[in-house]
Amino acid sequence: MTNYSNTLRRLKLSDSLFTFEPLRNRYLGHFGKLAILRSSDNFEMEAVSNLLKKADYPEGIFTELRKLMDIQNLFLKEHNFSELAVHDANGNNFKLDKIFGPKPVAIFFWDLYSPQLQKLAHQKVFDLQRHYPDIHFIGININSKQTDMWKKSLKNFNYNRISEVQLQKNPYKTKLFRNFSKQLILLTPGNHLVLSNEQMFTTSIKSALERLSLEF
């Protein structure tokens, strides 16, 4: 049983078994969030969405889960990242595909207000870059209203300015976007569609990058 199917099963059980409202809401929120984050394609996301609609969620929890689904939809298979509006440290606005080039691409999103995770993610990507030079790694900062602070971080931590951009506008809550800070999104070259969404700190990340490097 996959992580996704196991989480969906637990979500269904939480909805049917718990009668004590605070406990039920806690588990519904927890497994609802996990089911969303573990959805890899539109079919799986639709199954989660239908289940969430059937469950009697408190309005606050349901609203947050819907917003989380909006972000996760960006990372589902075959989503196209070409049109994502970003800018570089020199203030140039452009669509993300301008810096893609011919190589397969791996992108990750990071948050200025999660300094430890920001550091670990960049260290991990730096290590992966050395092992997979045929893949273009791109860091995307989500704090669109903190451009000066972002530029200082690029300088202070000596990040590669050529492969670092910032969202022109982030319509999502930063605290929700932080759920995706450990993910590495692999894109096919040419059409730049999402091939897979990987956890960068797991042992399976290297095999996923190996496949991306060899297949394209």
pLDDT in tens, 3-58: 888 988 998 888 888 878 888 888 888 999 999 988 988 999 999 988 888 887 77
Assess whether 185 and 111 both reside in one domain. Answer: yes
Assess whether 29 and 126 both reside in one domain. Answer: no
Assess whether 118 and 30 both reside in one domain. Answer: no
What residue numbers bound the domain in which 45 lies?
A: 3-75
Distance CA 205, CA 50 (A): 31
Residue 47 is assigned to a structural domain of this protein: yes
The pLDDT value given to residue 1: 53
Residue 165 is assigned to a structural domain of this protein: yes
In tens, the pLDDT along 98-143 reads: 998 888 999 999 999 999 999 999 999 999 999 999 999 999 999 9
Q: How confident is the model at residue 191 (pLDDT cuts 50, 70, 90)?
A: confident
Residue ending a domain, choose from 31, 47, 75: 75
Assess whether 101 and 202 both reside in one domain. Answer: yes
Query: CA of 168: how far to CAs of 44, 87, 183, in Å?
Result: 30, 6, 21
Distance CA 47, CA 13 (A): 15
Residue 80 is assigned to a structural domain of this protein: no
Residue ending a domain, choose from 50, 75, 100: 75
Residue ending a domain, choose from 27, 56, 75: 75
Assess whether 135 and 197 both reside in one domain. Answer: yes
78 closest CA partner among 54, 45, 108: 45
Assess whether 95 and 139 both reside in one domain. Answer: yes
Residue 146 is assigned to a structural domain of this protein: yes
Assess whether 95 and 129 both reside in one domain. Answer: yes
Assess whether 104 and 64 both reside in one domain. Answer: no
Residue 135 is assigned to a structural domain of this protein: yes
Assess whether 126 and 20 both reside in one domain. Answer: no
Domain count, the chain: 2
Assess whether 14 and 93 both reside in one domain. Answer: no
Share of the chain above pLDDT 70, in %: 99
Give the HSE-up count for residue 208: Cα atoms under 13 Å, Cβ half-sphere: 21
Nearest 10 degrees: Cα torsion 209, 198, 40, 195: -30
Distance CA 132, CA 212 (A): 10
CATH of the domain at 125: 3.40.30.10
Assess whether 97 and 70 both reside in one domain. Answer: no
